[in-house]
Copies of this chain bind each other. A is one copy, B any other.
Amino acid sequence: MTNELLNELTFFVLAIFVGFEVISKVPTILHTPLMSGTNAIHGIILVGAILIAAGANSPVTIVLGLVAVILATTNVVGGFVVTDRMLEMFKGRQAAKK
| 12 A-B pairs in the complex with CB atoms less than 8 angstroms apart | A7-B7, A14-B14, A14-B15, A14-B18, A17-B18, A17-B22, A18-B18, A18-B21, A21-B21, A21-B22, A21-B24, A25-B25
In this complex, the interface size class of chain A, counting residues with CB under 8 Å from chain B, is 10 to 19
User: Measured between alpha carbons, how far is A1 from B17 in the docked complex, in Å?
Assistant: 27
Interface residues of A in 18-75 (CB under 8 A from B): 18, 21-22, 24-25
Give the interface centre of A10, A18, A24 by most chain B CB atoms within 10 Å. Answer: A18
12 A-B pairs besides A11-B14, A14-B18, A18-B18 with CB distance below 8 A are A7-B7, A10-B11, A14-B14, A14-B15, A17-B18, A17-B22, A18-B21, A21-B21, A21-B22, A21-B24, A24-B25, A25-B25
